[in-house]
Structure 1
Amino acid sequence: MRTPASICRHPIHPMLVVFPIGLWIFSLVCDVIRLTGAPGEAWSTVALYSMVGGLIGALCAAIPGFIDLLFYKGGAPPVRKIALTHMAINLTIVVLYAINIWLRMRSFVSVSPGLSTPVLLSIAGVALLFVSGWLGGQMVHVYGVGVEGRE
């Protein structure tokens, strides 16, 4: 699939999604470490900064992903529905993490011990990441979206 969001015939979106995925999963790992009783606020602070980096990365990945969606012209009928669902889930994740960051900033980075609202939002965000990643993988590996010569 050739779109303007490519470099040397390689789509940019899959190159960028690794950053928000990795950072948001790492932020949840930091929260879990904090929940297990790690002293101090360092893990909560690292979780917050990881979320911010993930949010920036997600917004950067969304632009070429949206361009790919606009320029997609073929393939099996369910692909467009899968792509729109993938996008809707990703936008939901971005909103969840924006709220999560806002809540953490309001409480001065401190996440109280136990399953607080920010930690629950992180769990929900990562769970949705798995669903969205599954759909993205389905588009590529089952329907060949983004694989040159398969659409």
Structure 2
Amino acid sequence: MESSAQAKAPVTALAGPYGHPLHPALVAVPIGAWIASFVFDLASRVVDHPGFLADGSRWLIAIGVLGALAAAVTGFLDLLAIPPRTPAFRTALVHMSLNLAVTAAYAINFLARGGQPAAAPVPWGALAASAVSLAALSVSGYLGGKLAYRYGVRVADESTQAEGYRVPKEDL
């Protein structure tokens, strides 16, 4: 199998069918949860009773960590389909490493916020940690886009994609 064709095929059904990988769908959970958490963090600094926002942020971080773990499983399966020693494989390793670091940072952030209901705004340190984590996540997302849109990892080949642009004969 040609190297680029190998990177398009799923390693197992758990990775999602040909041309429709699960990893891109699953990453929406941690990305959305962590962005919402950061909004809650900021909002907790400007309202009179910030406890509910600080608590909500902490739980959004937890949801993001759990979602990231699910996305990591399918992402790792996609990585296994990429031939080693290629630019796509090196990009995927950096993408994976950044995501694992971000997930670990958020897990630590969750634990550092404590288990008791919050009465105060999110501390500046926790807010800064979230901002740095989101910046790293943005870089990783850029690399994930490069994997899909430049290198075509787990994207259907052009002849398969062309099916979506053919006008049925009865419509001509």
CA deviations on 1:103-130 (whole Å, 9 max, x unpaired) are 0125x25385475221111111111111
- The runs of 5 or more residues in structure 2 that have no matched partner are 1-7, 159-172
Give the aligned partner of residue 80 of structure 1: 89
2:36 to 10, 23, 26: 26
Distance 1:72 1:109 in 2: 45
User: In the alignment, which of 2, 21, 28 is matched to residue 9 of structure 2?
Assistant: 2
* 1:125 and 2:133 correspond: yes
For residues 111 and 62 of structure 1, what CA distance do their matches in structure 2 show? 34
TM-score when scaled to structure 2?
0.79
Against the structure 1 CA distance between its residues 111 and 118, is the aligned structure 2 distance closer, same or farther, given a 3 Å change threshold?
farther
Distance 1:38 1:26, change over 3 A: farther
Quote the offset at 1:40 in angstroms: 3.4
Which stretches in structure 1 are left out of the alignment for 5+ residues? none
**Across the two proteins, how many residue pairs are aligned to each other?**
148
TM-superposed CA distance for 1:7, in Å, is: 3.0
Q: Partner of 1:105: helix, strand, or coil? A: coil
TM-score w.r.t. length of structure 1: 0.89
1:47-86 deviation line (CA, Å, top 9, x unaligned): 0110000000000000010011012238x93111110000
Tell me the residue number matched to 1:89. 98
Q: 84-93 or 141-150, which moves further after superposition?
A: 141-150
> What CA RMSD, in Å, does the superposition of the two structures yield over aligned residues?
2.0
Query: Which of structure 1's runs of 4+ aligned residues deviate more than 6 A?
Result: none
Q: Percent identity?
A: 34
Report if the CA contact (8 A) 2:34-2:61 is conserved: yes
